[in-house]
Amino acid sequence: MLDASASAAAFPLGGIGTGNVSIGARGELRDWELANRPRKGGRNPFSFVAIHVAPEGGEPLTRVLEARNRPPHEADQGYYAGDVAGLPRLADTRMHGRYPLLELDFVDDVLPVEVGLTAFTPFVPLDADDSGIPCAVLRYRVRNPGTAPVRVSIAASLGNPIGAGDTSNVFHFPDIEGRPRIGARDEDGLRGLWMTSDLADDHLGHGTVALTTPDASGTAKPQWLYGFWQDGAQQFWNEFRTDGHLAPESVESMDPPPHPDWMSKLRVGSLAIEHELAPGEERDFEFRLTWHFPNRPRGWAGNIIHDDPNIGQVVRNAYAARYPDAWAVARDLDARLPELEATTRAFVNALYDGSMPGAVVDAVGSNLAVIRSSTCFRFDDGSGSGGTFAAWEGSFDHVGSCEGTCTHVWNYAQSLAWLFPDLERSARRTEFMLETRDDGRQNFRTNRIFGSPAWDFHPAVDGQMGSVLRVYREWLLSGDDAFLAEVWPALCHALEYAFTEWDANGDLVLDSKQHNTYDIEFYGENSLANSMFYAALRAAAELADHLGEPERAARWRDAATVGAERMDALLFNGEYYQQNIADVDAQRYQYGSGVLSDQLLGQLLAHVVGLGHLFPAEHAKSAIGAVFPHNFRSDLSEHESVQRTYAMNDEAGLVLCSWPRGGRPRIPFVYSDEVWTGIEYQVAAHLIYEGLVDEGLTVVEAVRHRHTGGNRNPWNEVECGNHYARSLASWALLLALGGQHYDASRGALSFAPAQPGAFRAFFSTGTAWGRVEIDDDALTLLVDGGELDLRVLRLHGRVLTPDPATGPPLSKTLSAGSSTRYSTTAS
């Protein structure tokens, strides 16, 4: 629970690939990034909500529905004019975000009513479309605790953001392309503000925005006065503070014409809902913000891929194929909101109300914001299948961070695969159908999704092996043989490439120049690259078996076995796996005898897809176990790093590498002293898989203690950019703690909780999601969405049979709403 002092907190609203607006800890709308680009700190002037309350027989009171701004008060003109910071506000808030659902209560002694805000964008597991609606529901709940009736008016004001660039200069010379307008609109059972502009349909900034309510009461001022000064704001406030009513302006501006071109560009409108509340009455005042900015740049225009010949052209967002404009979004939302909200709440309950440790649920749930942040997008590829998924690594404040759905970063992500598996399959198709060359070398950033030339750079050993492994994950979750058949030839090439490119001496232990997720090359044998190699070999062997290619399967499985034995013999130092390198300073950026947190990344990923141990189990446990004491610091005050800083002072965190036995290179790899949440999560999940549950949870708690609103945003784990994809590794915690695994081809679902005691958790497969409840030998599945093909169910490896009283037989599809009990006792 946060209060208004949590200045770093920003709870993002918005769907997959739609852009966002966030709610800050004061209850304010902030970080306007609706139009297909990151825009942290982005302002939309005069976009705020205010309340007018008139108790019968008492003094009316008008307040902005935000807690007061907290110091420092530093801007070079006091405050941004569009914030109307000089209007009176409330004392405090209590903010409780369980992504994707925000509840925020306003705290104030003066206001005669109690006010809370519920805000969300529908989130439907397994349905990227219904989780990708460009909208935000803002529901203000007002209660009259007094003994006299109170007339309440709540007005939402909104600047027309279409075409807006830098809006820091509010009144004079605002940077707005085109000519925005606002009209009143009342149809489809909705009334509200309809925001348009005259930008051409294929203009990058083209769009529409609607602020609507199904509530028929109240008044509106579709367009404030514009002018050289703040006449519009003054006039709005004059009216609203008087009686809570608004009226359309009779003129557009009080400034005498002619008006300079810029003057009429900033358009603001207000929509009020008004009700009288009897003593004790509670009532919702609901606004819905919908938007529609169909056009994205056709190309990355990022900081790595510069050869986008199509820059200046646009592609269309996937949502634009479903909705012609923002009013259509509003209409669809209105029609389906009860169902969409019920599903959203069911997901929230399933995820957050279980028995898993709070920090884990928090880590899993909060980072889902990545999927719906500016880091990810979907564009209409004309296939009619929902579009192509693509993503940055993260989002800098004003531009995507590194581009191209980077394989070695997305390697760590699990959440997307288990919630929106079709999006991960889209990414695999890109990697193998577009970005794997004839010789098997894979471009680890995609540029060809835009029809642009392939990016020419080193291949990344970890990313490329990870892509192979992830095809296996996608296939396990979907059983999609067509998908598998589609990518299989390229997958084989990509895997074989490792033998020829990275294994110079042919001993099945990769040893050549190995570009990797640290943006440098490792030389010599190391367990990061090789654990990825062996995991990929074993995964591909499983797939080869399924495809009836037993020779291939056997060769890869043998290579994994032999290679892993050799690597273990070469690199295990009795405690952990180190790098085999003669002179650690001969090349810069190596780690040598260091304890690398990622040393067994491939092993973790193998656990996630149920491949078991690649190396001797006791060595794997020893190695990941060594990471904890050596790399986890309960206090970083004495830590020395000239690299990037994501954890500091008395905070705890897991560093990427340490050298307890000495041998630190003069210039170690360039991120060695950093703390990345994505790696903390993969290490924590691995610790749990190896039975070191307390150590894993300690790491997770450290991460989340660093994200408590006053220090950092709970809904934004930063690495190279906001909403960094690697943080989606957190889902592996859920998998590890539940021992959850699903194989769609066999209809086989299994659980193996890592801790004793009653277990309650969210579960998902590629086609169904819901809750699992485990008490001793009894397991209950409650399916909240989708359909589950269930032919085998295991608990701690034992096959369960259904309870004859409640359960259907196995080999049965369970549909949403079914609650089915299984137990070992019946077997």
Residues that bind a copy of itself (CB under 8 A): 7-8, 40, 62, 68-69, 71-79, 81, 83-88, 172-173, 229-231, 233-238, 241, 254, 303, 394-397, 401, 520, 588-589, 637-646, 648-649, 666-667, 670, 673-674, 710-713, 718-722
Q: How far is the CB of 434 from a copy of itself (least distance, A)?
A: 27
Residue indicated by tokens 């809570």: 244
Cβ atoms within 10 Å, residue 343:
22
User: Which of 115, 423 has the CB closer to a copy of itself?
Assistant: 115
Q: How far is the CB of 564 from a copy of itself (least distance, A)?
A: 32
Q: How far is the CB of 73 from a copy of itself (least distance, A)?
A: 6
State the amino acid at position 515 in one-letter form. H
Q: Record the tokens describing residue 793, joined without a space.
A: 């169910």
Q: Which residues contact 256 (CB under 8 A, 6 or more apart)?
A: none
Length of the chain: 827
Cis preceding-peptide flag for 100 (omega within 30 of 0): yes
Q: Record the tokens describing residue 172, joined without a space.
A: 């004079």
Q: How far is the CB of 645 from a copy of itself (least distance, A)?
A: 4
Q: How far is the CB of 256 from a copy of itself (least distance, A)?
A: 11
Q: Which residues contact 207 (CB under 8 A, 6 or more apart)?
A: 34, 35, 162, 197, 199, 291, 292, 293, 294, 295, 326
Q: How far is the CB of 493 from a copy of itself (least distance, A)?
A: 31
Provide the total of helices (H) and of strands (E) in the chain, helices listed first. 15, 36
Q: How far is the CB of 268 from a copy of itself (least distance, A)?
A: 12
Cβ atoms within 10 Å, residue 151:
17
User: Which of 201, 666 has the CB closer to a copy of itself?
Assistant: 666
User: Which of 103, 397 has the CB closer to a copy of itself?
Assistant: 397
Q: How far is the CB of 238 from a copy of itself (least distance, A)?
A: 6
The answer to whether the beta carbons of residues 62 and 52 sit under 8 Å apart is yes
- Helix orientation angle between 677-689 and 601-608, rounded to the nearest 10 degrees: 60
Q: Record the tokens describing residue 815, joined without a space.
A: 């549909």
Phi, psi of 315 (to 5 degrees): -115, 165
User: Which of 8, 778 has the CB closer to a copy of itself?
Assistant: 8
User: Which of 90, 793 has the CB closer to a copy of itself?
Assistant: 90
Q: Is 110 exposed, middle or buried (0-12, 13-18, 19+ CB in 10 A)?
A: exposed
CA-atom Rg of the chain in angstroms = 28
Query: How does DSSP assign 188-237, residue by residue?
Result: TTEEEEEEE----TTSTT--EEEEEES---S-EESS--BSSSSHHHHHHH
User: How far is residue 398 from each of residues 44, 68, 395, measured CA to CA in Å?
Assistant: 15, 27, 8
Q: How far apart are CA 425 and CA 404, in angstroms?
A: 15
Q: How far apart are CA 98 and CA 191, in angstroms?
A: 30
The answer to whether the beta carbons of residues 223 and 268 sit under 8 Å apart is yes
- Among 211, 235, 217, smallest CA distance to 159 is for 211
User: Which of 194, 681 has the CB closer to a copy of itself?
Assistant: 681
3-state secondary structure of 138: strand
Q: How far is the CB of 81 from a copy of itself (least distance, A)?
A: 6
Q: How far apart are CA 696 and CA 621, in angstroms?
A: 12
CA atoms within 13 A on the CB side of 101: 17
User: Which DSSP letter does residue 54 get?
Assistant: E
Ramachandran category for residue 23: left, alpha or beta (phi over 0 → left; psi -120 to 50 → alpha):
beta
Q: How far is the CB of 758 from a copy of itself (least distance, A)?
A: 37
Q: Which residues pair with 722 in a beta bridge?
A: 395
User: Which of 81, 729 has the CB closer to a copy of itself?
Assistant: 81
Alpha helices (runs of H) in 52-193, residue ranges in sequence order: none
Q: How far is the CB of 520 from a copy of itself (least distance, A)?
A: 8
Q: How far is the CB of 406 from a copy of itself (least distance, A)?
A: 16
Q: How far is the CB of 740 from a copy of itself (least distance, A)?
A: 32
User: Which of 83, 435 has the CB closer to a copy of itself?
Assistant: 83
User: Which of 131, 264 has the CB closer to a copy of itself?
Assistant: 264
User: Which of 403, 542 has the CB closer to a copy of itself?
Assistant: 403
Q: How far is the CB of 674 from a copy of itself (least distance, A)?
A: 8
User: Which of 130, 674 has the CB closer to a copy of itself?
Assistant: 674
User: Which of 393, 424 has the CB closer to a copy of itself?
Assistant: 393
Q: How far apart are CA 722 and CA 706, in angstroms?
A: 15
User: Which of 31, 474 has the CB closer to a copy of itself?
Assistant: 31
User: Which of 533, 676 has the CB closer to a copy of itself?
Assistant: 676
